[in-house]
Amino acid sequence: MSRSAHVIVRVDLQRIRRNVQEIVTRCRVPVLAVIKADAYGVGAARVAPAIADGVDGFCVFTLDEAADARIWEKTSKPCIALGPNLGVSANDFIAHHVRPAVWDVERAAALRSARPLLTVDTGMQRFSCPPEQIEAVIRAGGCDEAFTHATSLDQVSLLRHLIANHQMKLHAAGSSLLDHPQAWLDAVRPGLALYRGAIEVSAPLVEVHQSTGPAGYSRFLAPHHGVILAGYSHGLRPGPCLVNGRRSRLLEVGMQSAFVATSDNDRVGDQVVLLGPHLSEQEIAADWKTSPHEVLTRLCGVGLREYSE
């Protein structure tokens, strides 16, 4: 998708650093910051150096993500590649200081020199090793670390049970389990929690109208409406927004513009906030019927990014 030149994505790097420090202080175990998908659209090349002093490493999905953002060169901190990374050799991982995740004997053996991590299936049923193959994969890869993608404490307990006979570093907790000390294990992998409250996405009203009847393609009804220059070609969806700090809605989203419910006090140039400290990913996700992770990634891709320290 393209980005709208009329939408600004403001990233507060200092707030992201504070979020990291709060996690470090609370959990008191190593933090492996998740910056996959270009740091959820926030910008991995800027986020990683900003938080490098507070974390022990990073998690990406593919080796290419780490290489393109030059994570090792900018931070001197290693990465874990969580995804399949098909066709990538051990030497490629080693060159970029990235450790691969493995879940089958063949791949574990091929990547042994890159110090692979075992990823264990505790219910996700993708990119993970079934319990009956754990011993063989550990032997093939020489694995000394294991993790799982957990969303519940039962999954954390299952990981510990399945690896009980091995002296291995374990981690399972993403953002959703940071409030549960029994999930912290030997490290935590926060993703969404890094970025909460640090992003504001906004666009100015370019038109404001007193409605004279049904409007737009959908023929919506509203006493007043305005227009912003962002649409579904940029990733925008109908949903909640703020106009001059007031709760409002995107009534209809077209290809490159969107209708906004306004009042008779709103003017051209006034800002429409699509995401911000007073309009969270969680609130929008409930309206969109999706995850806050998708909301953050989608809205960070709508416009042009600006960073503040």
- Give 84-99 pLDDT, tens digit per residue: 999 999 999 999 999 9
CA distance 263 to 243: 9
Whether residue 26 is contained in a domain is answered as no
On whether both 148 and 226 belong to a single domain, the answer is no
pLDDT recorded at residue 230: 98
Whether residue 38 is contained in a domain is answered as no
| CATH classification at residue 299 | 2.40.37.10
Q: Hey, what are 129's tokens?
A: 């090793």
CA distance 37 to 256: 24
Across 202-211, average pLDDT? 98
Cα-Cα-Cα-Cα dihedral sign, residues 135, 140, 142, 143: negative
- Give 209-229 pLDDT, tens digit per residue: 999 999 999 999 999 999 999
Question: Of 140, 161, 186, which one is at a domain's C-terminal end?
Answer: 186
- Single-letter code of the amino acid located at 172: A
Contact 40, 297 (CB under 8 A): yes
Whether residue 34 is contained in a domain is answered as no
Going by pLDDT thresholds of 50, 70 and 90, the confidence category of residue 264 is very high
Helix (H) and strand (E) counts for the chain? Answer: 12, 16
On whether both 230 and 179 belong to a single domain, the answer is no
Percentage of the chain beyond pLDDT 70 is 100
On whether both 158 and 209 belong to a single domain, the answer is no
Average pLDDT, the chain: 97
The runs of H, that is alpha helices, within the chain are: 13-27, 36-40, 44-51, 63-69, 71-75, 90-95, 105-110, 134-141, 153-162, 192-195, 281-288, 292-300
Whether residue 14 is contained in a domain is answered as no
- Specify which residues 247 forms β-bridges with: 242
Going by pLDDT thresholds of 50, 70 and 90, the confidence category of residue 15 is very high
Going by pLDDT thresholds of 50, 70 and 90, the confidence category of residue 17 is very high
On whether both 162 and 211 belong to a single domain, the answer is no
Strand-by-strand arrangement of the 207-210 sheet: 207-210, 224-228, 258-261, 246-253, 239-243, 271-275, 199-204, 4-12, 303-308
- Specify which residues 301 forms β-bridges with: none
Whether residue 147 is contained in a domain is answered as yes
On whether both 178 and 63 belong to a single domain, the answer is yes
Q: Hey, what are 277's tokens?
A: 């400290």
Question: Of 157, 186, 215, which one is at a domain's C-terminal end?
Answer: 186
CA distance 173 to 135: 23
Contact 118, 98 (CB under 8 A): no
Across 11-33, average pLDDT? 98
On whether both 167 and 87 belong to a single domain, the answer is yes
Contact 281, 275 (CB under 8 A): yes
On whether both 143 and 164 belong to a single domain, the answer is yes
- Give 145-201 pLDDT, tens digit per residue: 999 999 999 999 999 999 999 999 999 999 999 999 999 999 999 999 999 999 999
Tally of domains within the chain: 2
On whether both 63 and 180 belong to a single domain, the answer is yes
Whether residue 273 is contained in a domain is answered as yes
On whether both 209 and 178 belong to a single domain, the answer is no
Q: % helix / strand / coil in the chain, to the nearest 5?
A: 35, 30, 35
Angle in degrees, CA 39, 240, 272, rounded to 5: 80
On whether both 146 and 209 belong to a single domain, the answer is no
Q: Is the pLDDT of residue 1 over 90?
A: no
CA distance 212 to 225: 10
- Give 46-96 pLDDT, tens digit per residue: 999 999 999 999 999 999 999 999 999 999 999 999 999 999 999 999 999
Question: Of 163, 186, 209, which one is at a domain's C-terminal end?
Answer: 186
Whether residue 138 is contained in a domain is answered as yes
On whether both 84 and 171 belong to a single domain, the answer is yes
Going by pLDDT thresholds of 50, 70 and 90, the confidence category of residue 289 is very high
CA distance 164 to 149: 18
On whether both 78 and 180 belong to a single domain, the answer is yes
Q: Is the pLDDT of residue 309 over 90?
A: no
pLDDT recorded at residue 50: 98
In terms of DSSP bridges, do strands 57-60 and 4-12 run parallel, antiparallel, or are they unpaired? Answer: unpaired
Cα-Cα-Cα-Cα dihedral sign, residues 196, 74, 114, 92: positive
13-27 vs 44-51: helix crossing angle, rounded to 10: 50
| CATH classification at residue 69 | 3.20.20.10
Whether residue 123 is contained in a domain is answered as yes
Assessment of whether the complete model's pTM goes beyond 0.85: yes
pLDDT recorded at residue 168: 97
Instruction: Please tell me the number of Cα atoms within 13 Å of 181 on its side-chain side.
Output: 3
In which domain, by residue range, is 264 found?
199-308
